[in-house]
């Protein structure tokens, strides 16, 4: 079974509009972390935002916010006021704890969503 699922292979958004990138996850571990990374065409992986499973509030970092719905096991990334430079591949990733039967620290990635921002 997929541990991290990103169901949108591609998304389009108009400049200055908001966009939501979907991510669902599957784990039986009560302690886990969720990450979002941006990969522009140049190839590097840029850390955007983190949400811990015990965090009471949704994480925010500038124009990025994470819509964390624990019961639904979803961790959607919301980008507000999209800019042309936001065009990139976006990856959701999960870090599980020792209770998940795996080593602490390693990330499991989704397949990614390509976001295109139109002027």
Strand ranges, E, within 1-112: 4-5, 10-14, 19-21, 24-25, 32-39, 46-52, 60-61, 64-69, 74-79, 88-96, 107-109
Nearer to another protein, 12 or 47 (CB): 47
**Residue from the set 33, 53, 94, 117 that interacts with another protein by CB under 8 A:** 33
Residues near 34 by Cβ (< 8 Å), separated by ≥ 6?
Answer: 23, 25, 50, 51, 52, 53, 66, 68, 75, 92, 93, 94, 95
Closest distance of CB 68 from another protein, Å: 13
Which of 24, 76, 87, 112 is the binder for another protein (CB under 8 A)? 112
Out of 21, 68, 91, 115, name the contact with another protein by CB under 8 A: 91
**Residue 47 in contact with another protein, rule: CB under 8 A:** yes
User: What's the full length of the chain, in residues?
Assistant: 119
Binding-site residue total for another protein (CB under 8 A)? 24
Residues lying near another protein in the complex (CB under 8 A): 33, 35, 37, 43-47, 50, 52, 91, 93, 95, 102-112
């Amino acid at each position: 079974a997929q541990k991290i699922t990103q169901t949108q292979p591609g998304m389009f958004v108009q400049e200055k509009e908001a966009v939501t990138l979907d991510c669902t996850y599957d784990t039986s571990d009560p302690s886990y972390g969720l990450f979002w990374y941006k990969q522009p065409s140049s190839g590097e992986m840029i850390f955007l935002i983190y949400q811990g499973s015990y965090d009471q509030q949704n994480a925010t970092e500038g124009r990025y916010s994470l819509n964390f719905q624990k019961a639904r096991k979803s961790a959607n990334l919301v980008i507000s006021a999209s800019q042309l430079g936001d065009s990139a591949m976006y990856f959701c990733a999960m870090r599980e704890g020792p209770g998940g039967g795996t080593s602490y620290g390693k990330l499991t990635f989704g397949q990614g969503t390509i976001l295109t921002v139109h002027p």
